[in-house]
Structure formats: C-alpha cells, structure tokens
Amino acid sequence: MITLWIALGVLGFIALLLCIPVRLMVRQSDELYLAVGWLFLRFVIAPRGPGKPKKEKSARGQKKEKEKKANPFADLIREKGVIEALEEISSLARILLRKFRRLLSHVVIRPLRLSLSAGFGDAADTAIRYGQICAVLYPLLAAVSELIPIRRAWVDIRPDYLEQGVKIEFAMTARLQPIFVVVAAVGMLMAYIRFRSRTRKQMATEPSKNTKESGAAA
C-alpha cells in the first residue's frame, strides 16, 4: 500500500511539473533573439553565445563576422522584397496553424508587440506598398488570434514618407503547458498503432481472398 501511495505521489508531482508552462521568447530588432524558458531555467537558442576568446580581428574580419550574424528577416526582405517576404512568412504561418491546430489552441501569447515602418521613396509608391503590407499582416494576425489567445497585443504598422527602407521590431512570449504536448504525442502514437494494426489486418486478409478466388477459378 505504501508503494502505491509513493507511486501516486511521484505521478502527481510529474503531472504538476508538466502543468507549469514552457515559455518561448522571441525578439526581432537588430538581430534575432530566441530563447526557451521553464521555471527558473532559460536556454538561449539565438544568438549563439561567444565561444573561446579569440584574437582581435581586422576590420575586414569584423565585417565578415557581422555579415554572418545578419538579420534573417532583413536578408529575406532584401532577397525577395518586403511584400513577397511577408507573403511567404504568412503562408508558412497559416500552414503551421492548420497542421498543429489542436496543439496551438492551448498556447497563450502574452505580450505581443509588432512595429513596422516602410518607406519606398516616392509617396504614392509608399502608400500603395503600405496598403499591400496591411492586406497581408492584419488578416494573418486575425487568423492567429482566432486560434491562439493573444493578451496585451500592440501592433503599429505605418508608412514612412521621410526615410526609405523597412524597419521591423517584433517581440512576443508564448506559453504552453508541456502536458498538452505529451497528450498530443500519445494521441499521435495511438493513431500510428491503429494504422499499423489496420494495415496488418488488410495484408493478412488479402492472401486468403486470393486463394479463394484461385480455387473458384479452378
């Protein structure tokens, strides 16, 4: 009996730990900051911390190192343009929302901050591109908020008629209880087991059907 109570206590403690949310912290300004936190622990994924101390580099070496640490969103915008880059990000986000709809419904985002200013030199061109940007971002934010609760959201998208260029600042903290990940993983495992059992039954019944058909033909 004591062993049963100890086992129940351990299971209850594990369940309690799984109910403590995991935090995903994302910040995008001059560089991408990505970290995962749980309780008092924090694991920084990007940017990578400095490794072993190295000798001082020349100006050319420092320039190459800065290029290696380039902003991925800025690189995407330079490569494809701001509209196409945002459309690509939007399509990827919508695919993730469809694929992981059940799991993402348990995520809570608090807070979310998005600031974007875009200028393209000519005032008319800036106004047109500003409308295109709003047509991509606001429907995406609406689709995300329909599935994921967003608390304390702050969004500022504005045209810049004085300077040319695109400036993006983004920050959010998403929280998810690990127990929902465990439940989703168990559900996927059970679905895979049922699928395998069905395929095995079908493969077992097909030879018997073939032997009956050959016997009837003879």
- Cα 40 to Cα 37: distance, rounded to the nearest angstrom: 7
Residue 153 lies in a domain: yes
How far is Cα 33 from Cα 41, in angstroms, rounded to an integer?
16
Interval 68-86 mean pLDDT: 69
Instruction: Tokens for 125, please give them.
Output: 């061109």
Task: Let me know if residue 186 belongs to a domain.
Answer: yes
Q: Which residues of 4-27 are buried (b: 16+ CB within 10 A; e: fewer)?
A: eeeeeeeeeeeeeebeebbbbbbb
Query: CB atoms < 10 A from the CB of 77, how many?
Result: 19
Preceding amide of 47 cis, omega within 30: yes
Q: How many domains does the chain have?
A: 1
Of the pLDDT bands very low, low, confident and very high (cuts 50, 70, 90), residue 68 is very low
Any domain includes 81? yes
Identify whether 218 is part of a domain. Answer: no
Interval 12-36 mean pLDDT: 86
pLDDT at 94 over 80: yes
pLDDT over threshold 70, residue 145: yes
The identity of residue 181, as a single letter, is V
Residue 59 reports pLDDT greater than 60: no
Percent of the chain with pLDDT over 90: 6
CA 94 and chain centroid, separation: 11
Show the DSSP H helices in 21-152 as ranges.
59-68, 72-80, 82-99, 101-104, 123-147
User: Per-residue pLDDT tens for 112-135?
Assistant: 999 988 888 888 888 988 898 898
Highest mean pLDDT of the ranges 30-34, 138-142, 181-185, 201-205:
138-142
Give the whole-angstrom CA distance, residue 21 versus residue 14: 13
Q: 53 or 144: whose pLDDT is higher?
A: 144
On whether residue 208 sits in a domain, the answer given is no
Tell whether the model's pLDDT for residue 84 goes beyond 80. Answer: yes
How many helices (H) and strands (E) in the chain?
7, 6
Q: Is residue 124 part of a domain?
A: yes
Mean pLDDT of the 195-204 span: 76
Tell me the per-residue pLDDT of 147-199, one tens digit each, with 9 for 90 and over: 888 888 899 999 988 888 888 888 999 999 888 888 888 877 887 788 778 77
Q: Is the pLDDT at 71 greater than 80, yes or no?
A: no
Residue with tokens 């009956």: 212
Asked whether residue 192 is assigned to any structural domain, the reply reads: yes
Query: Which 8-state DSSP code applies to residue 48?
Result: P
Average pLDDT of the residues of the chain: 79
What angle do helix axes 82-99 and 72-80 make, rounded to 10 degrees?
120
pLDDT for the residue 175? 92
Question: Inter-axis angle of helices 178-217 and 2-18, to 10 degrees?
Answer: 100
Range of the domain at 155: 20-48+69-200
Tokens of 86: 């945002």
**Strand duo 22-28 + 153-159: pairing:** unpaired
Q: Is residue 102 part of a domain?
A: yes
Distance, CA of 164 to CA of 111 (rounded, Å): 29
